[in-house]
Structure 1
């Protein structure tokens, strides 16, 4: 672990559940945090901001490239020690042949294309020895897919992992840590009520992993307990 004094994190997608809990955990550990919401409605993040002067709120829809560019422009001149992109939607758990083209496209754009675009556009703001993290999932592992189900969501997270591997290959000399993180099976809209972890149990582990590998160059696919996952 390292001293978080004067450390700045940007959490993209933090209005509720895991993104909000990760923001709260970073604040608890002394980070200065910039977290984003989509749209102008009040969220749990606004409630959290009333309790801390180390939290700033920005607005961005990561599926809109012009909004991502505008966010970068607003943050120009700032240095981020951590960029963490938290994004994920899932539609009905049905075979891919029953999914509309529109639904498939929305999940892929939100879960795979948009997070990588955010990483590419905001990378220059991240310190050369900083950390770039992206929320992935165990369901993105081809090796671990022995039961099927959630086909489009799985495909989107596999695509995310593949795109981030390509990103890492294109930036092979980059000193930044690049982490794809599985938060565990968490009781969110995505995880469902039968999940084994609460948001409050998962978030500290995610932040532990982000802090533990800070300053370690290279791409890693890890879970919230710092176990390596097979691709």
Structure 2
């Protein structure tokens, strides 16, 4: 049976590259984004791949999201990749906290992935096992923080890592594996022009990590090269 992926933030960057890679590998893919009608690259893929479904999902509007409202395909999910993210204003230093922006970063990067996981639980393939992959960032590592700052994004990813760890414990008896992934410094709109790797390098590495992930590694923080990152 064809395996099934659901991914958020699928219309560009890392998310779009994941979609292309899994479609090429023969997977059924449900690609979620905020504005499906404007997702030209996804729509182009849809004309080629019948097993691609595009779904509207805006993590900035969690109060309006239900499982029924998503209109998901009937098939259960073997893999969920929580990729959608928001950095917020850059260069924020101590004393410049904007609560509205901080809440938005936390809602999209931390609350959203856990909320959507809760919604999707009835759709997870618990019979054959399911993997939940969360795109985190090394800046969420306490041990790696040597420069300070970055309060919004750092805190959102550190909190996301805590969510992943708890899910790995709570869902272990269901046969569900969870992992926090650091994609590297990637050439995307968020990563900027000085980034070190392209999306293809990042995604191919993360796909290998996901494919080889053991239950002993569930709840870990791993980069795209398969190296464990300290919390």
Query: Normalised by the size of structure 1, how large is the TM-score?
Result: 0.89
Q: Deviations over 1:137-196 (max 9, x none)?
A: 111111111122422111110011112223333334231111111111101122111110
Q: Which moved more, 1:44-53 or 1:176-185?
A: 44-53
Matching residue within 57, 61, 71 for 1:64: 61
Point out where structure 2 has 5 or more consecutive residues left out of the alignment: none
Q: CA deviation at 1:221?
A: 1.2
Q: Which moved more, 1:12-21 or 1:140-149?
A: 140-149
Contact kept? 1:130, 1:214, Cα under 8 Å: no
Provide the residue aligned with 2:110 in structure 1.
112
CA distance in 2 between partners of 1:45 and 1:25 (Å): 13
Q: Which 4+ stretches in 1 moved above 4 angstroms?
A: 214-217
What does 1:96-107 align with in structure 2 at a 5 Å threshold? 96-107=94-105
The secondary structure found in structure 2 opposite 1:206 is helix
Q: Which moved more, 1:166-175 or 1:189-198?
A: 166-175
Query: Normalised by the size of structure 2, how large is the TM-score?
Result: 0.89
CA distance in 2 between partners of 1:94 and 1:217 (Å): 34
Superposed CA RMSD in Å reads: 2.1
Work out the number of aligned pairs and report it.
Answer: 227
1:199 lines up with 2:199 in the alignment: yes
Cα separation, partners in 2 of 1:70 and 1:79, compared to 1, 3 Å? closer
Matching residue within 28, 31, 40 for 1:32: 28
Provide the residue aligned with 1:178 in structure 2.
178
